[in-house]
Amino acid sequence: MARMLPEPTPETRHFWEGCKDGELRLQRCTECTHSYFPPRPFCPKCGSRDVEVYAASGKGFLYSYVINHRPRPDMGTEPHSIAVVELDEGPRLMTNIVGCPQTPEALQLDMKVQVKFEKQTDDISLPLFEPAKG
Amino acid sequence: MKPKSVAVVGAAETTKMGKIPDVSVLGLHADAALNAMKDAGLKPSDIDGVATAGVSPVELAQYLGITPTYADGTSVGGCSFMLHVRHAAAAINAGLAKTILITHGESGRSRVGAGGFGRNASSLMGQFEMPYGVTSPPTMFTIPVLRYMKTYGVTEEDLAMVAVVQREWAARNPRASFKDPITVDDVLNSPMIAWPFRMLMCCLVTDGGGALIVTSADRAKDFPNKPVYVLGTGESVETPMVSQMEDFNSSKAFRVSGKKAFDEAGIKHADVDHLMIYDAFAHLPLYGLEDLGFCKPGEAKDFVRERNTAIGGKLPMNTNGGGLSYMHSGMYGMYALMESVRQMRGTAAAQVEGAKISVCQGVGGMFAAAGTVIFGNEA
């Protein structure tokens, strides 16, 4: 069963194009410098339309998660994490932590993680995260 | 809203509760509405305002034969009915309508006439949460909790205790779905749903409904039952995506809504005799106790463990057994309101003797929205 995938809108297309190109693209306000997510063509803090897209570091830490023991049919049969990562730039986003056992012992809150793009189709790559190396 | 300017004069749940395979969603709305009208001694032609969520107020009005001058279709999840009470109070005070019917009905378990679960892959949630495997509330509402547990040293046992205490209340309610006592070990040995949440930390999925009738306080004494006055109300919304909550240790919508209601009612926490906090999952009462100001941040776990919310405690909470043990059709807020009204009328199955003020806190979505209604039984 094919994984449920996002359908980008004009306001979010830069983010998904970035994922395809191996770049985690955030936005920030050029007036108040606030970095934010999810994408939108204005600053949610000050309302300014003067915003820019930039490439984030792709680094952050594990903020919170659950381990879903009843996976959705398109997510396989094994328990897996559904996590929220706080990026070094400030915003948080939902993701899956991959590249480590899906257990409470392996998934420690505050552990450093880095983005790993996983190609799903020609149009969509998902920004997953794995434990930071080194 | 001026405190005590409006009152609940009709309140009733559906005739049956739990598993109702022979009634559709719209039928559950109607059954609850007819029961509430009977409770108030009213006919559909006496109702001039309607409010509901799940179905449209248009469907409801036409089905019941009501010609309203006020219709509220606010639909922000399980606390929609708290918002309906709030809007009804404002509408009555503004002269938009005199007698407003608020209904809920949901075939959560049997799914009769319930439609499907829609998903929109281009919505923000569809783009930025659904691809990671979230399925339903058990994998979304629970997302902030490990952070909350780490921040305040909350344990799995603490979460389990919430379910244990509520089951004790449910045992006193003949209509509760689950009445048999449970222990912390029972909760911790129940099947894993989404770590750290076990089955007994998650709400039921049942069928049912409820309805309220609200009118101005000056008319309220003319009805068969003891009026239950609205002292204060609050509402707020935060985010459709739980991953974007500002603070995983606290709900901003709870804080804003609760403060508004307390300010409006002009009461202190010590004045509150009875409390309902929408408990779709075991962590919600803990967040609610803290965000409404009954406990300091991080102290709700001790407050519950020390049995303050249990039978005989100083702040009886979720006295129907809650969404964890009484019933949960999907949008539980109406049942919390029903229990507050019963407690204020003095007719609850597990009645809190002498209770004069009840606070009823609802949540919508996954910490997406909140609604608060504070009731009193003295004019």
Tell me what pLDDT residue A131 has: 98
ipTM score assigned to the predicted complex: 0.94
N-to-C CA span, chain A: 36
pLDDT in tens, B91-126: 999 999 999 999 999 999 998 887 665 678 999 999
- Answer yes or no: is pLDDT of B78 > 70: yes
- State how far residue B195 is from chain A, nearest Cα, in angstroms: 5
Distance CA B310, CA B352 (A): 11
pLDDT (mean) for A2-11: 94
Residue A37: list chain B partners with CB under 8 A.
128, 244
**Is A78 at the interface with chain B, CB within 8 A?**
no
**Is A70 at the interface with chain B, CB within 8 A?**
yes
pLDDT tier at A1 (50, 70, 90 boundaries)? confident
pLDDT (mean) for A103-107: 98
Whether B194 and A126 lie within 8 Å, measured CB to CB: no
Whether B194 and A68 lie within 8 Å, measured CB to CB: yes
pLDDT in tens, B170-182: 999 999 999 999 9
- State how far residue B176 is from chain A, nearest Cα, in angstroms: 27
pTM above 0.90, yes or no: yes
pLDDT (mean) for B241-266: 98
Q: What percent of chain B has pLDDT over 90?
A: 95
Mutate to test the interface with B, among A36, A72, A94 (most CBs of B within 10 A): A94
Closest Cα in chain B to A4: B131
B111: Cβ contacts below 8 Å, ≥ 6 apart: none
Q: Count CB pairs under 8 A between chains A and B.
A: 108
Query: Both tokens of residue B116?
Result: 């499907």
- State how far residue A46 is from chain B, nearest Cα, in angstroms: 16
Closest Cα in chain A to B137: A68
Residue B234's identity, in one-letter code, is G
B299 in Cβ contact with B264 (< 8 Å): no
Kind and range of the H or E run holding A15: helix A13-20
pLDDT in tens, B41-62: 999 999 999 999 999 999 999 9
Tell me the pairing of strands A80-87 and B49-52: unpaired
Tell me what pLDDT residue B117 has: 58
- State how far residue B262 is from chain A, nearest Cα, in angstroms: 28
**Is B97 at the interface with chain A, CB within 8 A?**
no
**Is A111 at the interface with chain B, CB within 8 A?**
no
Distance CA B281, CA B78 (A): 13
Whether B127 and A12 lie within 8 Å, measured CB to CB: yes
Which of A38, A83, A109 faces B128 most closely, judged by CB atoms?
A38
Q: Which residues of B are catalytic?
A: 278, 326
Closest Cα in chain A to B148: A64
A51-65, B108-122, B181-195, range with the lowest pLDDT: B108-122
Closest Cα in chain A to B246: A92
Distance CA B134, CA B132 (A): 6
Collapsed DSSP state (helix, strand, coil) of residue A1:
coil
Whether B192 and A104 lie within 8 Å, measured CB to CB: no
Nearest in space to B25 (alpha carbons), one of B157, B294, B207: B207
pLDDT (mean) for B229-253: 97
Residue A75: list chain B partners with CB under 8 A.
133
Collapsed DSSP state (helix, strand, coil) of residue B78:
coil
Instruction: Please name each of the domains of chain B with its CATH number.
Output: 6-113+204-376 (3.40.47.10)
Q: What does pLDDT average to over chain B?
A: 96
Tell me the pairing of strands B70-72 and B49-52: parallel
Tell me the pairing of strands B99-107 and B49-52: parallel
**Is A29 at the interface with chain B, CB within 8 A?**
no
Distance CA B274, CA B52 (A): 26
Query: Both tokens of residue B118?
Result: 């829609």
Whether A94 and B196 lie within 8 Å, measured CB to CB: no
**Is B194 at the interface with chain A, CB within 8 A?**
yes
pLDDT tier at B135 (50, 70, 90 boundaries)? confident
Residue B302's identity, in one-letter code, is D
pLDDT in tens, B274-318: 999 999 999 999 999 999 999 999 999 999 999 999 999 999 999
